Chain A
Amino acid sequence: MEMNRRKTIALGAGGVAALIGTAALAQTAPATTTAPAAAPAAPVTPGKTAEQWIAEFTGGAGVTEGGVELTAPEIAENGNTVPVSVAADGASEVLLVATGNPVGGVMIARFGPAAGRREIATRIRLARTQDIIGVAKMEDGTFRQATANVKVTIGGCGG
């Protein structure tokens, strides 16, 4: 079995500080060690469609597919906390939209010029099976996006 953080922490009291520190980090960025500054999405405006969220983010500019790596499970293990990450080389900002949630805007992450990896990972709540969309604003001002379908199931009968 591999040594991992859970086990390392269990080895001694010296690990307790690390537990608190990394647990807090894990809430926002479990998949990357260089956590960028994550700003909450713009003030909540219920009823905005996914298209409206994206249009506000892009200012109406065209969005092309590709160049964005959106990682999410095919089927959520727990719809209340679904791990999602968005990575896009050369991105200055990333918008994450959950198209099937009552409030579709999940977050906008802004990367400073010193950010090594342009990647943000978080956990989000999904109300039902839906597409999630990651839109990246590139440093040259263009926009790119990727879509992933995440299924939220009732659960059932594994063979």
Chain B
Amino acid sequence: MINKREFLQAALATTALWGLSGHGNWGRLAAQQALSQDRLLQFDDFGNVTLIHVTDIHAQLKPLWFREPAVNIGVGEARGRPPHVTGKDFLSMFGIAPGSPDAYALTHEDFTALARTYGRMGGMDRVATVVKAIRAARPDAILLDGGDTWHGSMTALRTQGQDMVNVMSALGVDAMTSHWEWTLGQDRVREIVDGLPFAFLGANIFDAEWDEPAFEPYKIFDKGGARIGVIGQAFPYLPIANPRWLFPDYSFGIQEARMQEVVDHLRGTEKVDLVVCLSHNGFDVDHKMAGQVQGIDVILTGHTHDAIPEPVLVGQTILIASGSNGKFVSRVDLDVRDGRMMGFRHKLIPVFSDVIAPDPDMAALIDAERAPFAADLDEVVGTTESLLYRRGNFNGTWDDLICDAIRSERDVQIALSPGVRWGPSLLPGDPIRREDIHNACSMSYGQVYRTEMTGETIKAVMEDVADNLFNPDPYYQQGGDMVRVGGLSYAIDVAKPMGQRISALTLDGGEAVDPAKSYSVAGWASVNEGTDGPQIWDVIEAHVRKLGSVRAEPRETVTVSGA
């Protein structure tokens, strides 16, 4: 192994453009570019190996709005460290000019105005153009998908992921790992994987009964004169964060010792020159794992939806964060010689849909996949007068609208809505089409339950979720945001231990929540089998139809301290 000093020198010598000489290069260089396809794709080929990374597409085939978080708190060692830097701090850390295309792509600042200036992002037909352009320059490039691909839209749910399988196969993916894929049920996952033209990797997916590996842990590629081992790491907390009954035969977990064993096997027995981990751990988990497991050169991170314009270095491992929803494609060129990574050059390519031309073949495929559902998808249910967004540690306006719908349609005092990180945004004045509602809540277990909970139970639920997000040890973080609440306000001290973070629970109207008293509560995405109730998208649609026009301004229901 090379030592850190040699590594840094090698990297610095060869990454003048997109290197890691501290933060700040990215924006200055990006600001010099005109917004054109050629400039967006411009990349001086480097070394002999190219990785292309996409992740957390959440079945978003078409260009979209996606507002990045205003609040993304890091705890413990992660405090103030990317990706836990937002807004103006993010712009200044990376030297990005306010109001620039990159400010729009990477932060929430002036989102609505900049969205109108720079247009929607993503679209898998545009992603296809980017991938083809990279492959034209580097035919040996390896395309890796970090998972959360077969979930997140009405068409993905109705086709049980088939639309995404067809699109990703046409895109030419070489290997993927998984998370929400499993919410289609284990039989469907096995059916797809049996016919998949690329590898479905998960070193940490074990047979729950026999406690032995259940899927391929890695795949080896001989590309660019190098032998490259790609290890898959599925989302570790699937049976906890998602319904275990949908995939009862499988067990997951971080399994650090297993990861080390696979890395050692690749280096010792398979004699690879480069070890890449295609991960769905979440960024902070990967950051810790990079320091614990020896011998990983590149971690392609996923799950937590972070877009970071420069690689993050942990020891001799580089971490790449490629965003979500098709907004970005990462290109990583590597100089791999004599069994070592000697240097790298990286670019987080923002997919501006008005700038990057759609690939005609992929556009035709996407249209064909959507055609059977077109009338359903495009039906206008209402209009929004204000920005609807979700991403952020606490309630977004989409969540407030969903909680309002639940309280109104299910006639309850309190609504709970999961703090998932997917769900695109809508701009003021946008029609709310049925597809937009599904994009915010599509899932295989969307029933809206209705129940009674004591104040004590409500607090316990919130403490539990808060610890999944704010536990100072990343290995105890599940990677979602805080549960969203309706009809309720509260204070949270993120620095406190579990059980002491949540206080001042108050009902709408100002009455304090009594631990001993029972309240009517409804919510969706229960992990329990046999949950009864209408589907969440039908509940939202009924509510929006009644309102006709929606106005959801950010609410001051959560008071945060300790950050």
Contact = CB atoms under 8 A, between A and B. Distances in A.
Q: Do A and B come from one complex?
A: yes
Contacts of A124: none
Interface stretch (A50-58, A59-67, A68-76): A68-76
A154 B464 contact: yes
B244 interface: yes
B365 interface: no
A119 B530 CA distance: 40
Interface string A1-27: 110111000000000000000110010
Contact of A156 (B179, B249, B478): B478
Interface in B209-253: 209-216, 235, 237-242, 244, 249, 251-253
B257 A4 contact: no
Contacts, number: 113
A147 to B, nearest CB: 14
A126 to B, nearest CB: 13
Contact of A6 (B210, B237, B254): B210
Interface string A139-159: 000000000000101111111
Contacts of A1: 193-194, 214-216
A30 B211 CA distance: 6
Nearest to A85: B211
B214 A2 contact: yes
B241 A77 contact: no
Contact of B251 (A31, A77, A158): A77
B420 A2 contact: no
B525 A157 contact: yes
Interface residues of A, number: 27
Contacts of A155: 240-241, 527
A78 B207 contact: no
A150 to B, nearest CB: 10
A83 interface: yes
A75 B475 CA distance: 9
B253 A157 contact: no
Contacts of B481: 157, 159
B244 A158 contact: no
Interface in B156-208: 179, 193-194, 207-208
A71 B253 CA distance: 12
B216 A153 contact: no
Given A75-B240, A77-B244, A78-B244, A158 B253 contact: no
Given A77-B252, A153-B468, A159 B240 contact: no
B305 interface: yes
Contacts of A156: 240-241, 418-419, 461, 464-465, 468, 478, 480, 483, 527
Contacts of A73: 253
B50 interface: no
A26 B210 CA distance: 7
A158 B478 contact: yes
B479 interface: yes
Contacts of B480: 156-159
B207 A6 contact: yes
B407 interface: no
A26 B213 contact: no
A22 B207 CA distance: 14
B231 to A, nearest CB: 14
B421 interface: yes
Nearest to B418: A157
Contacts of B238: 158
B439 interface: no
Nearest to B391: A159
A157 B239 CA distance: 11
A67 B207 CA distance: 29
Contacts of B235: 158
Nearest to B251: A77
Contacts of B212: 4-5
Interface in B262-280: none
B475 A74 contact: yes
A157 B211 contact: no
B284 to A, nearest CB: 12
17 contacts: A1-B194, A2-B214, A2-B215, A5-B210, A26-B211, A71-B257, A74-B473, A77-B252, A129-B498, A151-B467, A156-B461, A157-B419, A157-B420, A158-B179, A158-B237, A158-B241, A158-B480
Interface of B: 179, 193-194, 207-216, 235, 237-242, 244, 249, 251-254, 257, 282, 303-305, 418-422, 460-461, 464-465, 467-468, 473, 475-476, 478-481, 483, 498, 525, 527
Given A158-B240, A158-B242, 17 more contacts: A4-B213, A5-B212, A6-B207, A23-B209, A26-B209, A74-B475, A77-B240, A153-B464, A155-B240, A155-B241, A156-B241, A156-B461, A157-B418, A157-B468, A157-B478, A158-B420, A159-B478
